Structure 1
């Protein structure tokens, strides 16, 4: 005896107001079950889905409750009989009439109360704390309305049948009241399930208010009391009435206890299964999302739809993913400024001032005629040219396991062998220099650049102050590469390396270079033999 199809239709309109939030995890059941659809589903289709769930379940639950009540009255407790020992106008008149009236009144009353509690969602307003409390109490109020209608029916039928025969009082009162409690409990759990989209919207607006039975423990104990405690009490009452009234034979008492016990076992199991399922689904959603995070997928947030500790678990997962996304954003930003390898080293080892001796290769690249480039073009065009130039440099340095240590105007310094260790940094540096030269000639023929390559011992580490430092290398190879770069600007090959650098490379890389003249670089006392790509 509960709200009929119109209840589901009105609730479906409420659910139609819940809008999709961007970035949700669409590949998992957003509300814990595919029955409620995905967050990407159209609102009209979701309304039909929710209407179907509520209509089928509420009507089916009440019909099953009425059927069980009739089974108890006719088979489990057959004496006295509601057909032969009671006026026919009660059994075939008042009973069916009350069912019809209860459905009509329930449709109006319960619908009105539920819609009033969810008015903020219908009008798409931000809920207040009072609105949030009404939202989370809506399943309880609906179940209370169902229980009230069954209670009125129990009192009415018990009174009428009791006037005909006093023996009907315990029988009718127990049979109808027992079924009413079970139906109300089922309606509470499934209404809470069906309203998850609205609950998610309320939870997103603020903290969940206190429920009737707060937390998982309160919910579990409530369901046990109504689904198992009350039926067990009913079995005890049957035995008590049989002893006091003496209206049941031994066989009838056994049949009555067997039927009530079977009903209690069945409905108790179903209720606990529903409760377990409602408890497990948020955990399953979080578990599925955790698997995605383990695979490096940080897209989207979970929909927080549970007001118990499980909702806090979902909220905590979202906070964790937000922190991971922020960490990835900082890591990406940090890596763009200082280089990926330096960023990874800083995460792995706490950075500090100081350095260590490393054998590295250094590549220095500088544009030829940069002054003319700046004065002959608009600033925006100059920046566009430089970005294309540096993209080629960064691409080839990264491909050859190097680090672009710094940009200085239209020049850049790349390091091979620090902070990441390379077996033969000369190979990678020389290969990168050749690749940069070839790509500039093919992709930016209007732009020329001098490239210098040198290798040797340097001090690599963090220099500066505690509040601000940067990773760099200091040593003779850096100065030597810069001087070679200056010389390369006027050399036909545009790319120069020292003989020592080429000799330190592997045979496969050495054959790609030709040795040439010996010069004394500016600021150096000893002569240096040059090499350039063959």
Structure 2
């Protein structure tokens, strides 16, 4: 409610000028009070009526002129708010300067008044009363200027979120916390202390009057100082509490944090910086999620942490290759969308099974997929993880009943890292195990279990996992000089693909030959 009221006052020329006029009258009331407390008014005698009447005439003229100028300033600096338009960068910069501009305008209106009072007192009440009177009027002018600065600064708070997007630079020097603290101290403590000094140094008044006036000023100073300190502390502590809660939520991983920006001081810049930080973190998470969908979460984390260098290393890893049986025929027989939908369901199974066992789906190759266990994230049992993933993939695809696949698994030393150029990188795994897994996949399409793995995989797996596998035979894989001992899972008789796809001949179409491993 208060924020809407301030917004109305900022958007209304009448409301805006009324507040600035009230600040001026507040300064005038300070002058009258101090003149009464110091006893200057009582010592003017017959000149009192003349001085007061001339002063009131100037007050009326200054109020009318100040109101006209203030309304013009409001239309020039806040016209976009009145017209409910979006502010421009120039509008934002004018808003940042407006408290200082209005304070300077208030001071400019008081300067002729100070000169006028000096002339009147010098003419009608020369001596110490003239010096004290001019000093008190000057203190009132400072009070009015300070009131105007703080009131306009507070009045414009609701507009700060509106200009935050168009003004991203540092705050105006006059709107810093230091300036606000200084102005608040001058109003709450500096001016009362100055008034007390004038009272106590006034030799024209009797001691009892000086003591009474000093006591009144001290009591007023205590109340104004306490009020100003509490108000200033709340204006700093409240946004800092909001910032602390926001940072705590960000640290906990909540990036949907938006800190309201309601100040142009250093605190406002800090609020803007926190919002910018969360926006960049959200963008980083979006990129990480998108990047991870393309290359895997592990590779994405590696790239974000290590940068864009061409790096890699040699390590022991297990490669799992999955390929669709008869994909050429399926692509010819099915509509493209239907075939792609089937592939997507298959690859979803592959991704879920691989990631559930700590592996990485390194790449999709049309109707095939290459999965790596042990890179880029090292696993304690990469071979066992790959074997469990192979069985899960085979069983899930069988249960779905849409496609027929072959799965090959091989293990050995590979290069795992980035290849490419400075502008285009790809994380990949290169080595003989990858080629061996691809060849085993071709052979696996001809066996009932649809899975073939190399001897090195079985040797590296734990004992419980090895018990689930049985020797299949020795294969002469195409493009390889040495025979490959192959294994398949020993529950393959219930795999359900049917015996019609199993070949009993010792040589298969892909150029593979098979012998019994027990004879070698």
- TM value normalised by structure 1: 0.71
Q: State the match for 1:123 in structure 2.
A: 83
What per-residue deviation string (whole Å, max 9, x for no partner) do you get for residues 244-270 of structure 1? Answer: xx2x32222112122223333543454
CA contact under 8 A between 2:77 and 2:95: conserved in structure 1?
A: yes
Match of residue 252, structure 2, among 291, 295, 301: 295
Task: Give the number of the structure whose alpha-carbon radius of gyration is greater.
Answer: 2
CA contact under 8 A between 1:493 and 1:532: conserved in structure 2?
A: yes
Deviates more, 1:189-198 or 1:291-300: 291-300
Q: State the match for 2:412 in structure 1.
A: 456
Change (3 A) 1:59 1:493: farther
Measured after TM superposition, the shift of residue 132 of structure 1 is: 3.5
CA contact under 8 A between 1:239 and 1:253: conserved in structure 2?
A: yes
Measured after TM superposition, the shift of residue 422 of structure 1 is: 1.3
Q: State the match for 1:3 in structure 2.
A: none
CA contact under 8 A between 1:363 and 1:452: conserved in structure 2?
A: yes
Instruction: Give me the whole-angstrom Cα distance separating, in 2, the residues matched to 1:495 and 1:55.
Output: 85
- Is the partner of 2:449 in helix, strand or coil? coil
Q: State the match for 2:365 in structure 1.
A: 408
Q: State the match for 1:182 in structure 2.
A: 143
Deviates more, 1:429-438 or 1:477-486: 477-486
Instruction: Give me the whole-angstrom Cα distance separating, in 1, the residues matched to 2:421 and 2:103.
Output: 68
Aligned length: 483
Q: State the match for 1:426 in structure 2.
A: 383
Instruction: Give me the whole-angstrom Cα distance separating, in 2, the residues matched to 1:362 and 1:375.
Output: 30
Deviates more, 1:97-106 or 1:500-509: 97-106
Measured after TM superposition, the shift of residue 315 of structure 1 is: 4.2
Measured after TM superposition, the shift of residue 186 of structure 1 is: 3.5
CA contact under 8 A between 1:86 and 1:164: conserved in structure 2?
A: no
CA contact under 8 A between 1:15 and 1:198: conserved in structure 2?
A: no
CA contact under 8 A between 2:100 and 2:149: conserved in structure 1?
A: yes
Instruction: Give me the whole-angstrom Cα distance separating, in 2, the residues matched to 1:205 and 1:94.
Output: 48
Q: State the match for 2:323 in structure 1.
A: 366
CA contact under 8 A between 1:202 and 1:208: conserved in structure 2?
A: no
Match of residue 221, structure 2, among 256, 264, 273: 264
- Is the partner of 1:436 in helix, strand or coil? helix
Match of residue 520, structure 1, among 470, 475, 480: 475
Pair 1:204 & 2:161 matched: no
Instruction: Give me the whole-angstrom Cα distance separating, in 1, the residues matched to 2:28 and 2:187.
Output: 18
Measured after TM superposition, the shift of residue 197 of structure 1 is: 2.6
Q: State the match for 1:437 in structure 2.
A: 394
Deviates more, 1:277-286 or 1:422-431: 277-286
Measured after TM superposition, the shift of residue 118 of structure 1 is: 0.4
Q: State the match for 1:233 in structure 2.
A: 194
What CA RMSD, in Å, does the superposition of the two structures yield over aligned residues?
A: 4.7
Change (3 A) 1:121 1:219: same
Equivalent residues in 2 for 1:96-495 (5 A)? 110=70, 113-128=73-88, 131-140=91-100, 178=139, 181-182=142-143, 184-206=145-167, 213=174, 215-240=176-201, 242-243=202-203, 246=204, 248-268=205-225, 270-271=227-228, 274-275=231-232, 277-278=234-235, 284-299=241-256, 302-349=259-306, 356-442=313-399, 444-464=400-420, 468-495=424-451
Instruction: Give me the whole-angstrom Cα distance separating, in 1, the residues matched to 2:174 and 2:414.
Output: 69
CA contact under 8 A between 1:158 and 1:169: conserved in structure 2?
A: yes
Measured after TM superposition, the shift of residue 120 of structure 1 is: 1.3
Instruction: Give me the whole-angstrom Cα distance separating, in 2, the residues matched to 1:145 and 1:258.
Output: 33
Match of residue 8, structure 2, among 8, 12, 33: 12
- Is the partner of 2:371 in helix, strand or coil? strand
Instruction: Give me the whole-angstrom Cα distance separating, in 2, the residues matched to 1:139 and 1:180.
Output: 16
Instruction: Give me the whole-angstrom Cα distance separating, in 1, the residues matched to 2:165 and 2:488.
Output: 66
Choose between structure 1 and 2 for higher RCO, CA contacts under 8 A separated by at least 6 residues. Answer: 1
Question: Which segments of 5 or more consecutive residues in structure 2 lack a partner in the other structure?
Answer: 492-520
Instruction: Give me the whole-angstrom Cα distance separating, in 2, the residues matched to 1:352 and 1:323.
Output: 22
- Is the partner of 2:349 in helix, strand or coil? helix
- Is the partner of 2:174 in helix, strand or coil? coil
CA contact under 8 A between 2:171 and 2:265: conserved in structure 1?
A: no
- TM value normalised by structure 2: 0.73
Question: Which segments of 5 or more consecutive residues in structure 1 lack a partner in the other structure?
Answer: 1-7, 17-50
Measured after TM superposition, the shift of residue 185 of structure 1 is: 2.3
Change (3 A) 1:181 1:375: same
CA contact under 8 A between 1:132 and 1:209: conserved in structure 2?
A: no
Instruction: Give me the whole-angstrom Cα distance separating, in 2, the residues matched to 1:459 and 1:202.
Output: 53
Measured after TM superposition, the shift of residue 414 of structure 1 is: 0.7
CA contact under 8 A between 2:410 and 2:433: conserved in structure 1?
A: yes
Pair 1:504 & 2:500 matched: no
Deviates more, 1:377-386 or 1:410-419: 377-386
Measured after TM superposition, the shift of residue 383 of structure 1 is: 2.5
Instruction: Give me the whole-angstrom Cα distance separating, in 2, the residues matched to 1:465 and 1:263.
Output: 75
Instruction: Give me the whole-angstrom Cα distance separating, in 2, the residues matched to 1:292 and 1:181.
Output: 44
Q: State the match for 2:488 in structure 1.
A: 531
